[in-house]
Structure 1
Amino acid sequence: MSLTFELDPAITPALREGVLTLWADVSNAGGSVGFVPPVAVDDIRPELVKHFVAMAEGRTRLLVGRDEEGAVAATAFLTFNMHRLMRHWLWLYTVMVHPRHQGRGYGRDLLAAAEESARTLDGIEAIRLTCRGGIGLEHFYGSCGYKEVGRVPGAIRVAPGDDRDDIFMLLPLT
């Protein structure tokens, strides 16, 4: 079974809780989505509120993947670059697939849905994202067509003595 993707779903209490639960489960499984385990839903809530504010202001779009039961199983936030000289590309943030669904190709499906969504947006010529080094994410994104375009060594401190590279990836759409 595959996921069903929707861009800009209605923000309901069920969706909010689904995204929060997904984010906590991904983080606690070691996913590199802005937190390190252990993390609770209440730790994540302020970050999700920031995403929702950006959505309300028209700066961010939410892509949700739902499993066969209708549960939130994957997300990505497409965030417009607000710098006047860089509006031709957007950022892809908080790219997540629930751990119970990993290994089924859903990450590739999510990235393909994000690319398809970005192609529908006027003036968008590329997608940029960053990923944490040390766990091979750059290889996964590379296999999905993204190219590494920059790296800041040791920019992400996961824990004392555990610094990771911040890797910049780009997917041209033109």
Structure 2
Amino acid sequence: MPLTFTFEPAISPDLRDGILDLWTDVTNAGGSVGFVPPVTREDIRPELVRHMVAMAEGRTRLLVGHDEEGRVAATAFLALNTHRLMTHWLWLYTVMVHPRHQGRGYGRDLMATAADAARGLDGIEAIRLTCRGGLGLEDFYASCGYKEVGRVPEAIRVAPGDDRDDITMLLPLL
């Protein structure tokens, strides 16, 4: 059964806790979402609070996918640019699908829904995202229509002696 996506949902304690659980589970499964495992909910909470503040300030939008049981199963955050010369594109951050739902095409569904949501925002012509090299993520995003537009070698230090490329990708929406 496909996920049910909602763009800019009402934030409730259940949704907040669901995102926190998702982020923790994705990270601990090896996902590249800003942390290195092992993590706890308390490790993730300050970053989620920063995302929520940006949402409250109108700088970031949330796309969330729920599974058939109503659990948070996927997210993506769309961050608007505040620089006056770059307001025609936005950043896609913290793209996650719960490990129990991976391999079913939900990641592609999430990316397509995020692109549709961005197209619905006034003046947005492209989406940029970054991903950590070494995991094949750039191949997944390329299969969703994104093009690699930049790479900083060894910019992400996952652990001592384990440096990864920081890859920037772009999806034109026009």
| Shorter-chain TM band | over 0.9
Q: 1:29 offset after TM fit, Å?
A: 0.3
Matched with 1:41 is 41
Aligned pairs for 1:15-164 within 5 A? 15-164=15-164
* Identity level (%): 80
Separation in 2, partners of 1:52, 1:33? 16
The C-alpha deviation readout for 1:20-40, integer Å capped at 9, x for no partner, is 000000000000000000000
Q: SS at 1:47's partner residue? A: helix
**In 1: Cα distance, 2:43 partner to 2:83 partner:** 29
Unaligned runs of 5+ in 1: none
Give the TM-score of the pair, scaled to structure 1.
1.00
Q: State the Cα RMSD in Å.
A: 0.3
The C-alpha deviation readout for 1:39-83, integer Å capped at 9, x for no partner, is 000000000000010001100000000000110000000000111
Q: Which amino acid aligns with 2:52?
A: F
Q: Residue 27 of structure 1: SS of its match in structure 2?
A: helix
TM-score of the superposed pair, with normalisation by structure 2? 1.00
1:115-145, CA deviations, whole angstroms, 9 ceiling, x for partnerless residues? 0000000000000000000010000000000
Amino acid at match of 1:128: R
Give the aligned residue type for 1:78.
L
3-state SS in 1 of match to 2:113: helix
**Equivalent residues, number:** 174
d(CA) in 1 for partners of 2:83, 2:31: 29
Moved over 6 A (4+): none
Deviation at 1:109, TM superposition (A): 0.3
Cα distance in 2 for partners of 1:146, 1:65 equals 21
Q: Could you give the per-residue CA deviations for residues 124-173 of structure 1, whole angstroms, max 9, x where no partner exists?
A: 00000000000100000000000000000000000000000000000000
Instruction: Supply the distance in 2 between the matched residues of 1:168 and 1:65 (Cα, whole angstroms).
Output: 24
Q: What amino acid is aligned across from residue 104 of structure 1 in structure 2?
A: R
SS in 1 for 2:111: helix
Distance in 1, Cα, partners of 2:129 & 2:39: 23
Distance 2:82 2:159 in 1: 32
SS in 2 for 1:35: coil
